[in-house]
């Protein structure tokens, strides 16, 4: 159970990051328009008018601004932030790359080396999986040192989740809401496990993303952009590594996989789909899980709330592991994987049924035509 002073700091971080986003978003919108950082309508996109990007700059500034203010006002937590200096350095690289991409539209292959460098900086400065559970040990509580494998595994996790959050950012408010719900779940999990300073970060992320939803929910007035989606993915990936090292049970490995289930599921199915279709891995498409839900006849709001609901359920499952289900972690993850496979098949996320794809494209064309009718923009 957290002490009252700690709870006050969490509340302070949540409120300050929330207020800072409300103050900073109008400035980033003006900056995006001035710099030409606009997301224009395209065949695979849902919106019909240019939307400012760079919303992630406001989220970045709010989170770090809140944390810096807390450090100044609460000197006794100053030292606890030092082990996460790699996160700070890496997130600055990711933000700079994201801002440049929002303005210039960088190719995925050009972004990947920079993301690897950012992850490498974080890993070199201490953000890495050092320990893992031995699933064959009685009670699943023994652990072993990953050794040299800690470096590539940590970089793979950070880069993978960074891009997974970017891929899921396809509907108004979707990536922002998923980041918010996952940060709340990980806040509760980390607080229960006494995971240390990462709990402060999760409180700041939750406040910033909730405030950003005011501008980003359907119909969105501003997008996170790559500057926001990749930053949030990078930040949450690093925090989940750092927080997980406070617990050496098998659940410490599985909890992040469960909580981030939606972006991970979407990223994995995208890679498989593009491989099966003999298309370029980096080539964007309109076959993601959120596109499939739209083609099933759902509205944007309905699709987003379904994915929110799944994320909330996965967060509850992850939290329950910390108290009840440690010995059954692998079984539950296996069951969740089976359900994910069934959902992938039913939604045709691997694009193996051309006739269903064709019906989906016709549905989207009808939707776009309806939204393009006179007066549709005013209704949005």
In terms of DSSP H, where are the helices of the chain? 4-35, 55-73, 85-104, 108-124, 150-167, 174-192, 198-216, 225-244, 250-259, 261-276, 289-295, 300-321, 329-347, 354-371, 376-379
Residue (of 292, 259, 63, 46) closest to 173 by Cα position: 46
Residue (of 29, 11, 13, 16) closest to 215 by Cα position: 29
The pTM of this model reads 0.84
Report how far residue 25's alpha carbon sits from residue 225's, in angstroms, rounded to the nearest whole number: 13
- pLDDT the model gives residue 164: 95
Beta-carbon-side half-sphere exposure of residue 53 (alpha carbons within 13 Å): 23
Angle between helices 300-321 and 174-192 (to 10 degrees): 10
- pLDDT the model gives residue 270: 84
**How far separated are the first and last CA of the chain, in Å rounded?**
45
Contact 196, 149 (CB under 8 A): no
**Mean pLDDT in order along the chain per 10 residues (380 residues):** 69 96 96 89 69 94 92 67 82 96 89 96 87 48 66 93 93 95 93 84 96 93 94 95 62 78 90 75 73 84 93 87 62 66 59 47 51 48
Residue (of 86, 235, 44) closest to 158 by Cα position: 235
Contact 132, 144 (CB under 8 A): yes
- pLDDT the model gives residue 23: 97
- pLDDT the model gives residue 380: 41
């Amino acid at each position: 159970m957290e002490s009252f002073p700690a709870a006050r700091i969490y509340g302070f971080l949540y409120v300050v990051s929330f207020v800072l986003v409300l103050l900073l978003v109008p400035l980033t919108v003006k900056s995006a328009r001035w710099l030409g950082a606009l997301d224009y309508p395209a065949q695979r996109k849902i919106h019909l008018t240019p939307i400012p990007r760079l919303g992630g700059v406001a989220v970045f500034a709010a989170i770090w601004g809140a944390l810096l203010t807390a450090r100044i006002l609460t000197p006794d937590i100053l030292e606890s932030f030092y082990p996460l200096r790699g996160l700070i350095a890496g997130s600055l690289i990711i933000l700079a790359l994201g801002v440049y991409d929002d303005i210039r539209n960088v190719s995925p292959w050009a972004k990947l080396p920079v993301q690897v460098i950012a992850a490498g900086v974080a890993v070199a400065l201490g953000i890495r999986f050092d320990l893992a559970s031995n699933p064959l040990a009685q009670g699943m509580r023994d652990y072993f040192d990953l050794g040299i494998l800690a470096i590539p595994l940590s970089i793979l996790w950070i880069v993978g989740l960074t891009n997974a959050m970017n891929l899921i950012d396809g509907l108004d408010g979707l990536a922002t809401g998923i980041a918010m719900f996952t940060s709340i779940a990980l806040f509760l999990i980390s607080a229960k496990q006494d995971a240390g300073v990462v709990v402060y970060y999760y409180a700041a992320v939750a406040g910033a993303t909730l405030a950003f939803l005011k501008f980003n929910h359907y119909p969105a007035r501003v997008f996170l952009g790559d500057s926001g989606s990749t930053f949030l993915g990078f930040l949450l990936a690093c925090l989940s590594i750092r927080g997980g090292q406070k617990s050496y049970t098998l659940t410490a490995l599985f909890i992040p996989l469960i909580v981030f289930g939606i972006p991970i599921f979407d990223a994995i199915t995208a890679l498989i789909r593009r491989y099966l279709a003999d298309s370029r891995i980096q080539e964007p498409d309109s076959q993601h899980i959120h596109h499939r839900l739209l083609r099933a006849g759902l509205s944007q709001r309905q699709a987003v709330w379904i994915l929110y609901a799944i994320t909330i359920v996965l967060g509850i499952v992850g939290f329950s592991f910390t108290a009840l289900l440690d010995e059954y972690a692998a079984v539950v993850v296996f069951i969740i994987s089976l359900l994910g496979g069934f959902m992938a098949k039913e939604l045709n996320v691997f694009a193996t049924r051309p006739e269903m794809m064709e019906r989906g494209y016709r549905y989207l064309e009808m939707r776009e035509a309806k939204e393009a009718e006179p007066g549709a923009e005013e209704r949005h």
